[in-house]
Amino acid sequence: MEDFRYRQIEQHLLQQIASGTLGPGTRLPSLRHVSARSRVAVSTVLQAYAELERKGVIESRPRSGFFVRRDAQELPPPPRTPRPVLRPHTINRSQLIAAVLESVGDRELLPLGINCPAEELLPHRELARVAARMAREDSRSQVGYLPVEGSLSLRRQLSLRAAQAGLDVRPEEIIITCGAMEALHVAVRSLVRPGDNVLIQAPSYFCFQQLLENQGVRSIEIPSHPRHGVDPSDVERALSRFDIRACIFTPNFNNPDGSLTPDKAKKEVVSLLAQRQIPLIEDDVAGDLYFGPSRPTVFKMFDTQGLVILCSSFSKTLCPGYRIGWIMPGRFRAQAYSVKATTNVCTATPTQEAVAMFLQEGRYERHLRALRRRLLEQTQAMQLHISRTFPGGTRVSRPEGGGVLWVELPRGVDSVELMYQAREQGISIAPGTIFSTQDRFANCIRLNTGNPWNEKLARGVEGLGSLVHGMLPAGS
């Protein structure tokens, strides 16, 4: 337990240093102060500080205490927040997105373009043992259909996890899906019709655009601040000007900019939408990947009318190949059930039951603690390496969770051209253009921080930086 507590303190301080809250040269709180605040022994705090000192992040000064090293945070500023044109847009990004998906899916390339933790960070052997044990003990049940809404055991586990986060969601209010994308697909099809307007943040996950494009829906974009996410005033402005059928937001560690919408803003957004009875589709796939001391809340926490549809999955945390997601559809359960039933009847039985048992045995939380620590370390290593190898004028996000970095390159750099050049060098990236329906973010890229930091990865980031240097306009 003490080992876990010192790791918690270490992670919290690392997050504060990465975000700039504790800048270079800043004196850290005293051992006794942190001990009293965290309710742990002074020796536990000292262990955390010693680990940070070993990593070269802080330094001790005789009779003065511990300080953030001057070279511990050579980070560029965070990306800017360009304001989109506030009007409906017909979406046409399928061809470019298809090219990106082909690139990020190539296992021969250094995987900086995909948003997924490396296989070695996931408990695949433990999961395989659980699945094999369940198949031996009850092989007959593994080959049959489950109900449309999915495994009761898994839904009970998800209900328990929701309760731990302060949400009152019963098992019968949950539908298991084939990953978060199917959950979002079910939500969108339950709510919108061709020609409807849907409010989204920008930048946002490019598959949202594909999903809306396939439904014949128009998107209206509001800016996503790289630190604070969705601004209620932007939501209110859009609601006052347009007939909006639904919203899709990612409040916790938005893909790609890593933004975290504060609780106060979440509550205000839910209230604004409730006044107009507009449903909100919430994507929370990265919510468990927080770097701070506690999990962030969700929009659904503030929903009293069943208007928030929460979608999530285990794809970013546990088992992307198992394709296990879920939807908490609120008042729209009947519509969601119908869409799920006519899409693929039900999600695969063996994977649902294996994940349910994995959660029931308490393995998931242990795994998450280790995964969050690794992601934080890898994120910081990549931030620092970008700052040392990319040209001046580069900006890098400072996420408080998740597994990606959003990088704004100097003006004049075309991220799509960079993607093709990087592929020739054996590197995959995701160009910024695909994260908006408008022609913005052309000089931005998304990079995956889900890979263990090593010499090969460092060389890949350095090579990418060299390509960016070569694309700078003459005289810059």
Whether 267 and 303 have beta carbons less than 8 Å apart is answered as no
Which residue, among 211, 213, 153, has the nearest Cα to 179 in the 3D structure? 211
Which CATH number covers residue 7?
1.10.10.10
Give pLDDT, residue 299: 98
CB-side exposure of 81: number of CA atoms within 13 Å? 18
Residue 77 lies in a domain: no
Give pLDDT, residue 13: 84
Both 133 and 112 in one domain: the answer is no
Both 114 and 137 in one domain: the answer is no
Both 355 and 441 in one domain: the answer is no
Both 342 and 397 in one domain: the answer is no
Q: Which domain holds residue 58?
A: 2-68
What distance in Å separates the CA atoms of residue 44 and residue 31, rounded to the nearest whole number?
A: 9
SS3 content of the chain, % helix, strand, coil (to 5): 45, 15, 40
Both 170 and 184 in one domain: the answer is yes
Both 222 and 278 in one domain: the answer is yes
Give pLDDT, residue 143: 72
What distance in Å separates the CA atoms of residue 250 and residue 447, rounded to the nearest whole number?
A: 18
Which residue, among 48, 13, 6, 95, has the nearest Cα to 369 in the 3D structure? 6
Whether 196 and 219 have beta carbons less than 8 Å apart is answered as no
Residue 95 lies in a domain: yes
Both 112 and 147 in one domain: the answer is no
Residue 73 lies in a domain: no
Segment (H or E) for 28: none
Q: Name the phi and psi angles at 89, rounded to 5.
A: -125, 135
Residue 49 lies in a domain: yes
Give pLDDT, residue 77: 76
Q: What is the dihedral of CA 168, 173, 174, 180, to 10 degrees?
A: -90
Tell which of 314, 338, 364 closes a domain.
Answer: 364
Both 304 and 258 in one domain: the answer is yes
Give pLDDT, residue 120: 94
Q: Which two tokens stand for residue 329?
A: 């559809």
> How many CB atoms neighbour CB 371 within 10 A?
21
β partners of residue 200:
221, 248
Residue 133 lies in a domain: yes
The predicted model scores a pTM of: 0.86
Residue 462 lies in a domain: yes
Q: Which two tokens stand for residue 151?
A: 């495994």
Which CATH number covers residue 292?
3.40.640.10
Domain count, the chain: 3
Which CATH number covers residue 95?
3.90.1150.10
Both 114 and 188 in one domain: the answer is no
Q: What is the mean pLDDT of each run of 10 residues along the chain (476 residues)?
A: 70 75 86 88 89 80 83 70 70 74 80 93 93 81 84 97 93 97 97 96 92 92 92 97 97 97 97 98 97 91 98 96 96 97 90 94 94 91 91 92 97 93 94 89 96 94 97 77
Which residue, among 460, 413, 410, 408, has the nearest Cα to 435 in the 3D structure? 408
Q: Name the phi and psi angles at 395, rounded to 5.
A: -120, 145
Residue 334 lies in a domain: yes
Residue 476 lies in a domain: no
Both 276 and 357 in one domain: the answer is yes
Both 174 and 309 in one domain: the answer is yes
Q: Which two tokens stand for residue 367?
A: 């795994």
Give pLDDT, residue 332: 98
Both 135 and 223 in one domain: the answer is yes
